[in-house]
Amino acid sequence: MNVFHDPELRELAERLASPDPGLRRVAVLDLVDCPEPEAVTLLIQALRDPDPQVRQEAAKVVDEFESEDMADALIAALNDSDEVVRNAAAHALSDLKDPAAAKPLLAALEESRDPFVVAGILRALKPLREPAAREPALARLEAGDATIRREAVGLLGWLKEERNLPALIQRARDDDDAEVRRAAVGALVYAEPDSVAEALRQVVSDPHWQVRAEAMNSIAKLNHQDSLPLLIEATRDSTWQVREKAADAIGKLGRVEGIPALGECSRDAMSNLRKAAIGALGAIAHEQCRPYIQTALDDPDPDVRKLARWAQSKLSAA
Amino acid sequence: MPIANHHSAVPVTVDADKCIADKGCTVCIDVCPLDVLWIDESTGKAHMKYDECWYCMPCEADCPTDAVTVNIPYLLR
């Protein structure tokens, strides 16, 4: 057992060494309030406690401590038998963003079979943007478990490498899981717009509305002007969330040709969509927008009216 | 504040089997803004000593063992 100079820590260390798991558990609860930096060594000790409830309690509070001091303990906790502990460890590791953690994480990835743990490690690797993670992530794109594929897609997106685009496009188009497709569509935004234009053209007719909505977002982020016809078509999508994102995107592209479609949206029954449409019309700020903005000044929804006033001021400034 | 010295139904009940106040836990006692939760000297477990409650819920939400239940009166629900 470590010897601490701080009396509070010494007392906590004694309680954490108690044979009674209940006492150890309560000691972990008190550990959070201890301001001493050395408290983290006690937390690491608690993460390795034989009692799962003590480990759980420790896992719940890992966020309160500097994660870099306990990277090894967190990686070990990724293989804990208790799911709460594993989850907290993966979560804390993804906050770590310490390049030094990449190596042990990759090693742990190699070892891990449990889908939950694999997904957690991939999520933790993502912000590190570690080039060596590319190969294992590409391999995980074929994993049977959708959460793994989803995290692998996220990781490859963060790497922002041109050569990963074909794999991401394939996921965006053909994955069985809507959430994986959505993540893949969102990950395409680092590409040269023309290289993913064809893929975006295909995913805008995805059966799942969240994928379609994400495609609208991606077109806006890529500022892909040639996709304007897709956006205009999507303003008539059956799901209003997609129509809303399409209206947003037309505003971001700033295209006068989109004004009639936005005008249509500004009369939609769904107030969120009217809001997006007026916002987009204000962003374009063209003389043709004026009648729609004028009408929206009397909209029943106060948010829409507020935005209409802003749009009007943009018009008079233009 | 009236002291609840005979047994009656109070809004906050503590499951003594789950409560770990005897191990040194004071979470519910610490979070209560009205200071109405205390440790029962005879059992070492937490209990509602004063029958006052804002139904603010942190005692129930923060209890590490889910031992605390706050019964919100029908008219407040």
Residues A157 and A189: their CA atoms lie apart, in Å, by 8
Give residue A189's pLDDT.
92
Residue A162 maps to a domain: no
pLDDT band at A62 (very low <50, low <70, confident <90, very high): confident
pTM of the model: 0.71
Helices A178-187 & A165-174 angle (0-180, nearest 10): 140
Share above pLDDT 70 across residues of chain A, in percent, rounded to a whole number: 99
Compute CA A318 distance to the chain's CA centroid, rounded to the nearest angstrom: 36
Distance from CA of B65 to the nearest CA of A (A): 10
Q: Please state the rounded mean pLDDT for residues A112-126.
A: 86
Chain B contact set for A57 (CB, 8 A): 64
DSSP B22: G
Boundary of a domain, candidates A18, A42, A65: A65
CB atoms within 10 A of CB A135: 10
Map A45-68 to HEC letters.
HHHCCCCHHHHHHHHHCHHHCCHH
Q: Tell me whether residues B20 and A27 touch, CB distance under 8 A.
A: no
Residue B38, SS3? strand
Identify the burial level of A139 via C-beta atoms within 10 angstroms of its C-beta, where 0-12 means exposed, 13-18 middle and 19 or more buried.
exposed
> What confidence tens digit (pLDDT) does each residue in B10-52 have?
889 999 999 999 988 999 999 999 999 999 999 999 999 998 9
How many A-B residue pairs are in contact by the CB < 8 A criterion? 21
Q: Please identify, among A18, A38, A65, the residue that sits at the C-terminal boundary of a domain.
A: A65
Fold designation for B12-66 = Alpha-Beta Plaits (3.30.70)
Q: What is the least distance, in Å, from the CA of A27 to any CA of chain B?
A: 8
In a domain, A74, yes or no: no
What average pLDDT does range A219-247 have in this prediction? 95
Q: Helices A52-60 and A21-31 sit at what angle, rounded to 10 degrees?
A: 10
15-74 in A: which are within 8 Å (CB) of B? 15, 20, 22-23, 25-27, 29-30, 57
Cα separation values, A283 from A71, A235, A276, Å? 46, 17, 10
The structural domains of chain B, with segments of one domain joined by +, span: 12-66
Q: How far apart are CA A269 and CA B18, in angstroms?
A: 52
Domain count, chain A: 2
* Smallest Cα distance from A137 to chain B, Å: 37
Q: Is the residue at A13 inside a domain?
A: yes
Measured over the CA atoms of residue A222, residue A227, residue A233 and residue A235, the dihedral's sign is positive
Residue from B17, B20, B28, B62 to probe the interface with A (highest A Cβ count within 10 Å):
B20
Q: Is residue A303 part of a domain?
A: yes
Domain interval for residue A34: 1-65
Q: Nearest Cα to A136, choosing from A160, A101, A112? A: A112
Is residue A78 in a domain? no
When pLDDT is cut at 50, 70 and 90, the band that residue A2 belongs to is low
What residues in A contact B24, CB-CB < 8 Å? 15, 23, 26-27, 30
Is residue A100 domain-resident? no
Is B64 in Cβ contact with A25 (below 8 Å)?
yes
Distance from CA of B45 to the nearest CA of A (A): 13
Could you give the dihedral angle defined by the CA atoms of residues A172, A174, A180 and A185, in that order, rounded to the nearest 10 degrees?
10
Question: How many angstroms away from the CA of B73 is the closest CA of chain A?
Answer: 31
A131 touches chain B (CB under 8 A): no
User: Is some CB atom of chain A closer than 8 A to the CB atom of B54?
Assistant: no
Highest mean pLDDT among A8-12, A29-33, A76-80, A208-212: A208-212
Q: Would you say A212 and A218 are in contact if contact means Cβ atoms under 8 Å apart?
A: no
- The CATH number covering residue A290 comes to 1.25.10.10
Mutant choice from A29, A33, A53, A55 vs B, greatest count of B C-beta within 10 A: A29
Q: Report whether pLDDT(A270) > 60.
A: yes
Report angle CA A266, A268, A271 to the nearest 5 degrees.
Answer: 85
Output the CA angle A280-A186-A204, nearest 5 degrees. 65
Q: What is the per-residue pLDDT for B7?
A: 58
Query: Of A24, A50, A65, which one is at a domain's C-terminal end?
Result: A65
pLDDT above 90: residue A312: yes
